[in-house]
A and B are shown apart, each in its own frame.
Chain A
Amino acid sequence: MTSEEEMIIQTPDYEDNSYEEEEKEKSEKSDKEIIRFQNLSYTYSSKTTALKGISLSINQGEFVFIVGESGSGKSTLIRTLLGELKPTEGDIIVEGANLKNIGRKEMPYYRRRLGVVFQEFKLLEDRNVYENVEIAQRVIGVKKDKRIENCNEMIKLVGLSDQSKKKVRELSGGEQQRVAIARAMVNKPSILLADEPTGNLDPNNSWEIMGLLQNLNEMGTTVVVVTHNDNLVNSMQKRVITLQTGEIIGDKLGGYIQ
């Protein structure tokens, strides 16, 4: 019992008003820095250095594409940002706090500020669509009524209302990707990281998902999208950061750099 009470105390309140106020605040685009990589390097083993001296700053409310060929270090960058991988060198500063100083105990609370669409989805295969979205809300301790409302809304948004009770492993790649997106967005995180969120989608669906991400961004969420999709990148006219063998070789508005 007591452990449960503590659990509730530790989880931030998830009340509607506080949340809307936050959104209002977020929607004022600002020059306030939200993420900064400082001379970040990551080495998997003595052989593969996936990131080399990355320095990069992302402002609150920005929409950023990260592009680069396979193996250039895009996913590794996301994983270090999530605290899954510890930088071999350098620092990551999120909302003013250095990740180095976030201890084991605080890490879950840090992660709740980020919504992540993983490249490999990372869904709970033996549970249904609803449960997969719901787990994100359970983890942060959202009350049942609110949870049902939020989850159903998000599942509808990604167009899976009819498949809500279907087990994830029975879904197609594209459908699984939508579940992953719904889960990443359901908690309305201040930062959304999406690692190839359209990798398994046909062009139509890809545009739909991009539209979703853009809506979210317009509501104030900082969005970082890793992608291969040149068409999307070129037509959306956002900031594009290009990686090559673990280094930034381009950072400009509008399109691909060769």
Chain B
Amino acid sequence: MSNFFYGIGQGIKGMFQNKMFSFAAIGTVTACLFIFGVFFSVILNFRAIVYKAESQVGITVFFEENLAQADIEHIGVLIKQMKGVDSVKYVSPEEAWENFKKDKFENDEDLIETFGDENPLKDSASYVVKISDMKQEPTISKDIEALEGVRKVNSIEAVAGSINNFNLLVAYVSITLIVLLILVSVFLISSTVAMGISVRKEEIAIMKLIGATDRFVRFPFIVEGVLIGIIGAAIPVGLLYIFYGSASDYIAKQFPSISKWFDMVDSVSVFSVVIPASALLGIGIGLLGSAHSVRRHLKV
């Protein structure tokens, strides 16, 4: 046990003996894991938005022209029986026109008057189908489309798809950056440890001659690398924690319309993943860097 703490102490000493390199290495790990944390929170929030959007939008089902009301009702019954369907709501042409006027024309009287009393959407009766499990949405859409008398199904794929594409873009850019920064971090930690080894070459040789095991000699250098990794993980997690809280406040203040509709994912959900993942990545990067150097330069 005492050798364990001795090794830790020597590792800490080594890190301070080599300030410039250690600082650069910690900075890179910090940058890397900060990007990771930001990427993760963005993805998590967008996913939450998509879920929220999907569950609120639902599928809209339109009918063939001049379909009898009885047939429409029959279709409604069939849809209701489908697995995964939560609710089916009938929207009459009149309601559709009212909604349209409200949404698109913002109740602009002049504009609406040009249509006179005629309902331009008289064939636009529809069902709004809400689905309990979004994963089943494509199948359900297809099944509804296959029903007799159904003209068109407006699925929500389009909306969800574009958000997912955005997520994917964020993911690709972030992953590329993270991988690059991991490589740089590993390289920098490896160089830092190599510096330490070269400074203490004589000391290492002496300890070997008086019977030190490889493990005894190597352990402080591994500690040094892992320590850099841990510090490099703690800083971005701390920063992110502060930023995440202020981002929630900022959005609430600046975009009340968004925040009315969508709350940012709570920080517990974010950090219960970000903290262990960052710690693991930091330690992993540190281990990889120092192990690489120890293996290369400590053939004692």
A contact residues vs B (CB 8 Å cutoff): 1, 3-4, 6-8, 10, 82, 84, 104-105, 108-109, 111-112, 116, 118, 122-124, 135-136, 138-141, 143-144, 183
Contact = CB atoms under 8 A, between A and B. Distances in A.
Q: What 5 A-B pairs are tightest by C-beta distance, nearest first?
A: A4-B4, A112-B211, A111-B211, A139-B212, A108-B213
Given A84-B209, A139-B213, 14 more contacts: A4-B3, A4-B4, A7-B213, A105-B214, A108-B213, A108-B216, A109-B211, A112-B211, A116-B209, A118-B209, A123-B206, A124-B206, A138-B2, A144-B2
Contacts of B203: 124
Nearest to B6: A138
Nearest to A110: B211
A135 B210 contact: yes
A138 to B, nearest CB: 6
B288 to A, nearest CB: 17
A109 B215 CA distance: 13
Contacts of A139: 207, 210-213, 216
Contacts of A183: 210
Contacts of B212: 108, 139
A79 to B, nearest CB: 9
A1 B4 contact: yes
B1 interface: yes
Interface in B1-54: 1-4, 6
Contacts of A105: 214
B208 interface: yes
A111 B205 CA distance: 13
A3 B219 contact: yes
Contacts of B211: 108-109, 111-112, 136, 139-140
Interface of B: 1-4, 6, 202-203, 205-216, 219
Contacts of B214: 104-105, 108
A135 B3 CA distance: 10
Contact of A116 (B1, B202, B207, B210): B210
Contacts of B210: 111-112, 116, 135-136, 139, 183
Contacts, number: 62
A128 B214 CA distance: 24
A133 B208 CA distance: 15
B204 to A, nearest CB: 10
Contact of B206 (A3, A122, A144): A122
12 contacts: A1-B4, A7-B3, A84-B209, A112-B210, A112-B211, A122-B202, A122-B205, A122-B209, A136-B211, A139-B210, A139-B211, A144-B2
A116 B212 CA distance: 14
Nearest to A122: B206
A7 B215 contact: yes
A1 B219 CA distance: 11
A135 B1 contact: no
Nearest to B206: A122
A126 to B, nearest CB: 9
A253 to B, nearest CB: 31
Contact of A7 (B205, B206, B216): B216
B209 A4 contact: no
A153 B300 CA distance: 31
B209 A135 contact: no
A108 B208 contact: yes
A151 to B, nearest CB: 13
Nearest to B216: A139
Contacts of B205: 122
Nearest to A113: B211
Nearest to A6: B215
Contact of B3 (A111, A112, A141): A141
A257 to B, nearest CB: 31
Contact of A8 (B1, B206, B209): B1
B209 A82 contact: yes
A136 B219 CA distance: 17
Nearest to B205: A122
A155 B206 CA distance: 19
Contacts of B213: 7, 10, 108, 139
A17 to B, nearest CB: 21
Contacts of B208: 108, 111
A104 B208 CA distance: 11
A214 B208 CA distance: 27
A84 B206 CA distance: 11
Nearest to A4: B4
Contacts of A143: 2
A141 B211 CA distance: 11
A124 B6 CA distance: 16
A141 B208 CA distance: 14
Contacts of B206: 122-124
Contacts of B219: 3
A116 B207 CA distance: 12
B300 to A, nearest CB: 9
